[in-house]
């Protein structure tokens, strides 16, 4: 898969090969939109170890919550019940955000002013 970028000003799609370069020695002038010549800075993608850690955390938090949840609900301890709810919500949100990052069509760039 070729890395695709999209200009935030003119919405032109381009690759590393198509990118505009004024001066390759200066990082702030070495990557730009080929159409409008706006310069960008690449944002490094997350490291694979981070992705693995997020997956382990989210699944490692949801599985015990699913096993212990019915027992906690049956006992009716409100403090533990709130803690369980926060754990489930945070790990589910983390997993959803991570899934969206993996399915991105374009890689992230930020505009240099």
Which pLDDT score, from 0 to 100, does residue 24 have? Answer: 82
Interval 37-57: pLDDT, tens: 888 887 766 666 667 777 777
Nearest to 42 by CA among 34, 51, 31, 33: 31
Interval 46-93: pLDDT, tens: 666 667 777 777 677 777 777 877 887 788 778 888 887 887 887 777
Contacts with 68 (C-beta within 8 Å, 6 or more apart), sequence order: 84
Which pLDDT score, from 0 to 100, does residue 47 have? Answer: 63
Query: Which pTM value belongs to this model?
Result: 0.43
Q: Is 37 left (phi over 0), alpha (psi -120 to 50) or beta?
A: left
Interval 21-37: pLDDT, tens: 888 888 778 889 999 98
Same domain? For 37 and 54 the reply is no
Q: What is the mean pLDDT of the chain?
A: 77
Is there a contact between 3 and 16 (Cβ–Cβ < 8 Å)? yes
Same domain? For 58 and 77 the reply is yes
Same domain? For 30 and 64 the reply is no
- Is the residue at 109 inside a domain? no
Domain count, the chain: 2
């Amino acid at each position: 898969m070729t890395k695709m970028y999209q200009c935030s000003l003119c919405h032109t799609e381009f690759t590393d090969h198509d990118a505009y370069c004024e001066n390759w020695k200066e990082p702030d002038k070495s990557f730009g939109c080929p159409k409008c010549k706006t310069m960008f800075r690449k944002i490094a993608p997350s490291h694979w170890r981070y992705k693995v850690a997020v997956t382990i955390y989210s699944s490692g938090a949801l599985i015990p919550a699913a096993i212990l949840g019915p027992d906690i609900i049956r006992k009716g301890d409100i403090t533990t019940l709130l803690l369980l709810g926060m754990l489930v919500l945070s790990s589910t949100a983390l997993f959803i955000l991570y899934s969206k990052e993996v399915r991105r069509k374009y890689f992230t760039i930020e505009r240099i002013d």
